[in-house]
Amino acid sequence: MEYKFTSRSVEDTMELAENIESEKFPGMVICLNGELGSGKTVFVKGFAKSLGITETITSPTFSLIKEYNSGEMPLYHMDVYRIEEADGTIGFDDYFNKSAISIIEWAEMIEDELPSERLELIFRVIDENTRVIIFKPFGSKYEDLVSSVL
């Protein structure tokens, strides 16, 4: 089942991320898809802020994964845009199976590597400020999470 949320500002997107963070659990995997400038990194900033992470959040496009350990739970922020083909040698499972949260930008690039249970968010640009965010929960924990947040 899919759900929709309309964000009319950066603040709306950050508040959505903060609400999802309030339902966090160890091993949570959130997959973010959408065109450049659609709000994926803004979402991660809101999530990280709510976790209490004080470091500046930027997209890890060239480093692939940034680890943030200063919050109440570790956050692994991945940007897999530059991966041409996920072949299993990067070790994504090592991140997904930890007691941390993984948020992956451009997750469709590594779809075969993703855990079967996860939350997928698809960001669609409507205009300069408006985004429609489509929620696709995979697994009962994520269905419950979406029900609590929306």
Looking at residue 94, its pLDDT comes to 78
Tell me, which fold does domain 3-84+92-111+128-149 have in CATH? Rossmann fold (3.40.50)
3-state secondary structure of 41: helix
| Of the candidate ranges 83-92, 114-123, 140-149, the one whose mean pLDDT is the lowest | 83-92
- For the chain, the first-to-last Cα distance in angstroms comes to 13
Looking at residue 81, its pLDDT comes to 82
In which residue are the tokens 């994504």 written? 92
pLDDT, tens digit (0-9, with 9 covering 90-100), for 65-91: 899 998 899 999 998 887 766 555 567
Residue 60 has pLDDT above 90, yes or no: no
Mean pLDDT score of the chain: 90
Q: Where are the domains positioned within the chain?
A: 3-84+92-111+128-149
The string over 23-61, giving b where at least 16 C-beta atoms fall within 10 Å of a residue's C-beta and e elsewhere, is bbeebbbbbbbbeeebbbbbbbbbbbbbbebeeebebbe
